[in-house]
Structure 1
């Protein structure tokens, strides 16, 4: 690979790192072609971009990026794949679901909304991170709940009140 080609690849990787708020680093070594294809398909369905990159080029792209990756460049050993997503927990869910069949991919580290996670131990934590849309949905349902209770009470109270008035009006004096 020529120096110009390497510079182009680094620039391309840097662009991907800048666009994605969630960046996962995983080891998918040892997967055969069919299994790798299944992983790519699972990533595509979950709107996760999977890229296999050279560690040196990824390290240089991380250096030239505006984001602070902390200790993530230090874990770039062996085979490394990048999983990029707009949703914080989508790559973790893909990895966890895929590992029901086999023991790969192994999570090396993740950069999710400015937070850094190093090691496969954080996979369950990352799966449980709620996306922005999920948090907004929870807030909206919490805000709607009291209003629904008030409306329900008024409806039931109104029918009770009208029933009482009707009974009283029919009562002989």
Structure 2
């Protein structure tokens, strides 16, 4: 690869890291061609972009970012690296990794690290934590539900109480007539 080609890849990666708030770095060394094809197919089905990139190119692209990715230097950017990008959710790639590992029955696909909204997650023990993360849409839905709940309760009480009050007044008026 020439210097110009490397510079183009670094520039493209820099833009990708800047525009995609969710990316994962994995190690897929030791996988067969069939297993890699299965992984790529699963990534395509779930809207995850998967690319194998040299660690030095990843490191140089991350250096151009406003976020400090130096913790990745020690353990994440070592050995074989593949990067998974997802534009909308930090949870989808984590679930994909877990599902692929369960389906293949082998631990050949290893999670090394992730950046979710500029928060760094390093180490295989972080995968379950990443799966439990909620997307922006899920969190907005919960907040809207919480905000609507008191209003619904007040309306329900007023409407329900109105019917009870009308029933009581009707009963009282019928007793007075009798």
- Superposition TM-score, scaled by structure 2 size: 0.88
Hey, which bits of structure 1, 4+ residues long, moved more than 3 A?
Answer: none
Q: Report what 1:79 is aligned to.
A: 80
Q: Give per-residue Cα distances to partners, 1:144-171, cap 9 Å, x unaligned.
A: 1111111111121111111111112222
1:18 touches 1:67 (CA, 8 Å); kept in 2? no
Q: Report what 1:37 is aligned to.
A: 37
Q: Report what 1:66 is aligned to.
A: 66
Q: Report what 1:118 is aligned to.
A: 122
Q: CA deviation at 1:83?
A: 0.9
How far, CA to CA, are the matches of 2:42 and 2:2 in structure 1?
A: 33
Q: Report what 1:98 is aligned to.
A: 100
Is 1:150 the equivalent of 2:154?
Answer: yes
- Superposition TM-score, scaled by structure 1 size: 0.91
How far, CA to CA, are the matches of 1:94 and 1:122 in structure 2?
A: 14
Aligned residues: 173
Q: CA deviation at 1:51?
A: 1.0
Q: Give per-residue Cα distances to partners, 1:27-68, cap 9 Å, x unaligned.
A: 122222333223223223332211111112212222233332
Q: CA deviation at 1:24?
A: 0.9
Q: CA deviation at 1:104?
A: 3.8
SS of 1:101's equivalent in the other structure is helix
RMSD, matched Cα: 1.6
Q: Report what 2:166 is aligned to.
A: 162
What are structure 1's unaligned runs of at least 5 residues?
none
How far, CA to CA, are the matches of 2:156 and 2:46 in structure 1?
A: 39
What are structure 2's unaligned runs of at least 5 residues?
none
Is 1:9 the equivalent of 2:13?
Answer: no
